[in-house]
Amino acid sequence: MLTATLTSPEATGTFACLLAAKLGPPALVTLRGELGTGKTTLVRDVLRALGVERVVTSPSFTLAQSYEGRAGLRLHHLDLYRLGAGADVALFAWEDYLDGLSVTFVEWPEAGAAELPPADVDVLLTHRTPESRGLELRAAPGLERALAREMTAAGIEQ
């Protein structure tokens, strides 16, 4: 596990760029953490870093939003916060978003736990101060090591 402190939204943006550079299809990135810890902020920053020019400002209105990034990269942003238990979860078109050809970001993965495969990257964000967030990232050891090195070089405290 990699742990760090993101001391400002700008630091979150810097981390997002480093993470974005490591992602390619197929990949599932889950984002956990209480309300307002910055999950959506992080996903939007990563999407921009992957070449999406028009990131939807309020993805919470819809369960899923799809984008095309650089070089035709297929990207999906799911926010399962409002997904009910039971029927909704079973009826949701998971296969449209986990098609092996896309990079898929899932906020509130707990709501779809039974349907989701294991994440390639799991991010947990926690509240520290109004501007500062704790980060815990779980990924393959090589990826964690490479990210840790680059975050240190970028001045992100670990």
Ligand X SMILES: Nc1ncnc2c1ncn2[C@@H]1O[C@H](COP(=O)(O)OP(=O)(O)OP(=O)(O)O)[C@@H](O)[C@H]1O
Binding site for ligand X (CB under 6 A): 6, 8-9, 11-12, 33, 35-41, 107, 131-133
Q: Is 12 in the site for Mg ion (CB under 5 A)?
A: no
Cβ of 118: how many Cβ atoms within 10 Å? 7
Q: Is 121 exposed, middle or buried (0-12, 13-18, 19+ CB in 10 A)?
A: buried
Cβ contacts of residue 13 below 8 Å, gap of 6+? Answer: 45
Choosing from 14, 30, 37, 40, the residue that interacts with Mg ion (CB under 5 A) is 40
Closest-approach residue to ligand X (CB):
38
Q: Which residue type, as a one-letter code, is found at position 1? A: M
Stretch 96-115: interaction string toward Mg ion, x if CB under 5 A = -----------x--------
CA distance 138 to 124: 9
| Chosen from Mg ion, ligand X, none, partner binding at 109 (C-beta under 5 to 8 Å by type) | none
- Positions touching Mg ion (CB under 5 A) are 39-40, 107
